[in-house]
Structure 1
Amino acid sequence: MFANRRNFFFRVSIVINIAVLLYTAMQLSGNTAPGVYWVPMTVDGSERSAEYKYVNQDIRNETETRLSDSSASARNFEESTSQKTPSTMATTNKTASSTATIPEVERKVNGAVPDAEASNASSLDIDDEDNLSPTTQAYLRTLLGCNDRDMLPRTEQRGEFWVLKNFVRADHGTILCHESITYTTHAGYEFLDNVQPLVERWMAPVSLAIHAPGADLTPTVNSIRYLRDCLSNELVKQFVTFHIFFSHKHIPSKIPDPDVLIQTPYNCSGKPPYENINSTYMKDKNLLYPVNVARNIARDAAVTHFILPSDIELYPSPNLIPRFLNMIARNAKPLSTSTNPRVFPISIFEVDAKVQVPSTKTELRAMLANKTAIPFHKFVCPNCHNIPQGQQWMNAAETNQMDVFHVGKRRGKFVHWEPIFIGTHQDPYYDERLSWEGKKDKMTQGYVLCVKDYDFMILNNAFLIHKPGIKHFVKNAKRDAIAGRQSAFVKNVIMPELKKLFGTRNGCAL
């Protein structure tokens, strides 16, 4: 009897222990492990490296130590969001799943998200369209799943060109990939008078590639020093990173140490080195301007997920960045329903040389009404920048937030459209065999965008204004000859390549 009772209690204790163990296991599996989170790590500067990191109260990786207190509170929101929707982190990161289909990957890369994340976006409380709250920043980090990039100086080869990447770096310090947009642009040093007005309106990272062959390097370096040391404010020093490149056939006789340069104050008593230029080494040697090499250098060096590849004489509307990123975070239609890859074209205008550049769409519309502003290249190449629903855009009043005004395509009457747009590092590159003098240097990229069925999501309130002065068509026999040769090269060489690589689509053409 006693033995039977002992066996009974022994069996009961086993059952209880098993129940406790099962309960504990269920609790552990239902919660995120403390101190485990997803950190995109950049090892080689690419967008393809990522790993899991384990942290505790005393150990933080390099990326996390850069975050401010507000970003830390934002991270708490992100972690709580990931607990509510455990699949969010894994499904939105571009490198999280190697089994995703191509349409799924393109959708994630371009910012489209599943319905569960769209519902999270609808809960965001955006009070100020001109600022990004910690909550919004945390959600963007999750939504974009982007990887942070470094700004280390490097000497690289790019075809026939040597590139001094990050030659003089901006003083803004670390910027995480989801926090801003980089304006990527290019120039010869004679165009650097545009840097200050551009950055005063952009107020965010600028990646600038400068073509400086041979003897052009010295005035280029002096121009950079002047911009950083001699202006009325330090915005150039804070936001602009300069890259220099030149052909291996035109390497400068001496390349200075940039660290020594920036530590030596520039003599600001003289005029800017980029003003009143009579001639340059490039012109004396009859060199063509490798515009697409410059564009791709500036783009590759950008540290943010979103980039705006543009020309240095195009000045953006103020507050574009927070308004755009708040729009992305809200993820309203058509953003939430689009399944195609997408970019965000910005409307472009010219203004009279004697007027101030407008800061709001309301001001721009008034100038369009009194003819002191016109659509870009109206008298040069109107079809190149005639955007879908362009007249309706100009007629529409300014709104209090940024949204997608219209979703267009690059076909039909817009088959020759050369949009300038906010995109990402995943968009097609510019063909580096094409020069500025040969014209239509962005057309091949436009063809690839069309074949890949990109949606062109035109922004309602954003615009670019060319440096004041209305342009008119001027015949140039020398440039026309170069353009003729380049057009033949595109037709006979590049187009057959593109068709083999990307295929064709009805309505797509150069």
Structure 2
Amino acid sequence: MMGNRRNLVFRVSIVINIAVLLYAAMHLSGTTSNGIDWVPVNVDGQEPARNAELRYLYERRAEPRNETETRPDALLKTYDESTSQKTPSTVATTNKTASSTASVVVPSELEITSDGLDIVDENALSEATLLRLRSLLNCNEREFLPVTYQRGEFWVLKNYVRADHGVVLCHESITYTTHAGYEFLDNVLPLVERWMAPVSLAIHAPGADLTPTVNSIRYLRDCTGNDLVRSFVTFHVFFSHKHIPSTIPDPESFLNTPYNCSNSAPYVLTNSTYMKQKSLLYPVNVARNVARDSALTHFILPSDIELYPSPNLVPRFLNMIARNSKPLNTSTRPRVFPISIFEVDAKVKVPSTKTELQDMLKKKKAIPFHKFVCPTCHNIPQAQQWMTAAETTQMEVFHVGKRKGKFVIWEPIFIGTHQDPYYDERLSWEGKKDKMTQGYILCVKDYDFMILNNAFLIHKPGIKYYTKNAKRDAIVARQNHFVKQVITPELKKLFGTRDGCAM
């Protein structure tokens, strides 16, 4: 009798222990690593799991990077040339700061799957557009934390000084990824004034160049008369292990000390940089890849810091993607979106619309990019037709081209994604043709080059002319030989060949 009771108690205790373990496992699996519960909530008759996903995405917009940081009123803003004011666009959020506790509005499933989008303002992103983008792109969020890592012979301080935009969901914007030495940082403000979206900037700062680099960052954030640089620009710093700076300032310390704005900007006082004193080559493709890898968004525009984008390019492009009209929804090949590039006279104002640009082209105040340096390098397919075609109210694909025939050495600058080929980091800026290897891979992979109808880039004012430089010509000859003898055979083994593709 006693034996039976003991057996019964033993069995009951086992059942209770198993139940406790199952409960604990269910509780742990129902909580994400950052403490947000995936709780199905039935709102507006939606299927519970889908509603929980949307609620999670919208609540993430309100997460601060830390307890003191806030998100700008709007990630994207429109550009008003006449008043020089930046006004918020329609952004799918109910939160004005990162710490806001406003309720989350979850749109209906109908807005995600509807064939038509009612886009009232092409210069803004509506809630429905953002939801459509989320569904179409199916992208993943990326970390936004400071990291120090090695990249070949270089040390990289990723996210050394972070923009104040906080959380950026991968589908809600485009990142302008660019690079420079500190002496080119005078271009940051005019660039971001026209871009009005995240900028990922990699700065080469070997040795003693780090000090003026840090002070230039502080000047740009504190002394430009607005918060655009603080809001949108994230700075990364990198240098060779052979040229590590003697001291590396802690951003948490120097950002808390306001810069003395009565002093001139460090980047305008440049006489001779450490890089020039040591006769270092500029590792342009390392810089490009560092900036690109650090971008938080699905779409990226890898470009040069002296190229200023046409205003409202970001919302107009994303609205085009959300509409998903032909040829976007018919082509099955990988694609990128090249942007037409121009130079303007040093004495003129940079144009803000295609119509203004066309007027300047007629008056010879603007010319195609590098017309007097390397015209075939940037000879874009149907360039003449593009320049004469009237500006439209919507961003569209003007022409689908290929990097073949007379465009075989075309070096396009384009909106792409993180899936596109990298730049070869063995090539320097001084050796020229540093984007040719990437162009070859794009050609072999049969990319479509979907040229945008209204978007353009304008080089910092001043027409460039070819000037002979014997020292640089020697570097170019060595780099050309290296590409021919080493890189080209590598690429053919790795990616194969295709008729018409060359470097």
The amino acid across from 1:65 in the alignment is: E
Q: Indicate yes or no: 2:385 matched with 1:401.
A: no
Could you say what the CA RMSD is over the residues aligned between the two structures, in angstroms?
Answer: 2.2
Could you tell me how far 1:63 is from its partner in structure 2? Answer: 4.8
Alignment TM-score, normalising by the size of structure 2: 0.82
Paired residue for 2:174? 181
Residue identity in the other structure for 1:451:
V
Partner SS for 2:425: coil
Find the aligned partners of 1:42 and 1:156 in 2 and give their Cα distance.
24
Alignment of 1:353-502 (within 5 A): 353-502=346-495
Unaligned 5+ segments in structure 1 are 1-38, 44-51, 83-116
2: CA distance, partners of 1:273 / 1:163: 22
Map 1:144-293; keep pairs closer than 5 Å: 144-293=137-286
Distance 1:55 1:42, change over 3 A: closer
Question: Using the alignment, how far apart are the partners of 2:361 and 2:307 within structure 1?
Answer: 17
**Alignment counterpart, residue 294 of structure 2, candidates 269, 287, 301:** 301
Aligned residues: 426
2:303 aligned residue: 310
Q: Which amino acid aligns with 2:126?
A: S
Secondary structure of 1:405 counterpart: strand
Q: Aligned in 2, Cα 1:418/1:70: closer, same or farther, shift over 3 Å?
A: closer
Q: Which residue in 1 is equivalent to 2:61?
A: 67
CA contact under 8 A between 2:378 and 2:410: conserved in structure 1?
A: yes
Q: Which of 18, 21, 38 is the aligned partner of 1:54?
A: 38
TM-score by length of 1: 0.81
2:123, 2:316 within 8 Å by CA — same for their partners in 1? yes
Residues 3-27 of structure 1, C-alpha deviations (whole Å, 9 max, x = no match): xxxxxxxxxxxxxxxxxxxxxxxxx
Residue aligned with 1:54, SS: coil
Match runs of 1:20-59 below 5 Å: 54-56=38-40
Whole-Å separation in 1 of the counterparts to 2:105 and 2:377: 44
Post-superposition offset of 1:374: 0.2
Q: Residue 445 of structure 2 aligns to which amino acid in structure 1?
A: K
Task: Give the conservation status (yes or no) of the 8 Å contact 2:58–2:104.
Answer: no
State the shift of 1:62 in Å. 6.8
CA distance in 2, matches of 1:81, 1:327: 16
Aligned CA distance change for structure 1 residues 57 and 317 (closer, same or farther; 3 Å): same
Give the equivalent residue in structure 1 for 2:131: 138
Structure-2 change in CA distance of 1:70 and 1:344 (3 Å): closer
Residue type of the alignment partner of 1:67 = R
**For residues 436 and 252 of structure 1, what CA distance do their matches in structure 2 show?**
22
- Shift of residue 57, structure 1, vs aligned partner: 5.5
**Aligned residue identity for 1:54:** W
- 2:314 is aligned to 321
Partners of 1:422 and 1:153 in 2: CA distance? 25
What residue in structure 2 maps to residue 21 of structure 1?
none
Structure 1 residue 55: deviation in Å? 2.1
Give me the whole-angstrom Cα distance separating, in 2, the residues matched to 1:468 and 1:42.
Answer: 49
Alpha-carbon contact 2:61-2:168 (below 8 Å) kept: no
| Distance (Å, rounded) in 1 between the aligned partners of 2:37 and 2:499 | 47
Q: How does 1:337-356 map to 2 (within 5 A)?
A: 337-356=330-349
Partner of 2:21: none
Secondary structure in structure 1 of the residue aligned to 2:120: coil
Cα distance in 2, alignment partners of residues 327 and 53 from structure 1? 34
Q: Is the 8 A contact 2:111 2:131 kept in 1?
A: no
**Counterpart residue type for residue 418 of structure 1:** E
User: Deviation at 1:65?
Assistant: 2.0
In structure 2, the CA distance between the partners of 1:74 and 1:330, relative to structure 1 (3 Å rule), is: farther
The sequence identity of aligned pairs, in percent, is: 75
* Paired residues of 2:58 and 2:93 also in contact (CA < 8 A): no
Aligned twin of 2:15: none
* 2:60 alignment partner AA: R
What are the Cα deviations for residues 171-196 of structure 1, in whole angstroms up to 9, with x where unaligned?
Answer: 11111000000000000000000000
**Which shows bigger deviation, 168-177 or 356-365?**
168-177
In 1, Cα distance between the equivalents of 2:57 and 2:443?
37
How many Å separate the matches in 2 of 1:240 and 1:303?
A: 12
1:139, 1:329 within 8 Å by CA — same for their partners in 2?
yes
Q: Distance in 1 between matches of 2:250 and 2:484?
A: 43
Please identify runs of 4+ aligned residues in structure 1 that moved more than 6 A.
58-62, 72-75
> Per-residue displacement from partner, 1:27-48 (whole Å, max 9, x unpaired)?
xxxxxxxxxxxx9x999xxxxx
Give the secondary structure class of the aligned counterpart of 2:268. coil
Gaps in structure 2 of 5+ consecutive residues: 1-30, 43-51, 63-90, 95-102
Give a deviation string over 1:256-304, Cα, whole Å, max 9, x none: 1011111111111111000041100000000000000000000000000
8 Å Cα contact 1:75/1:138 also seen in 2? no
**SS class of match (1:139):** helix
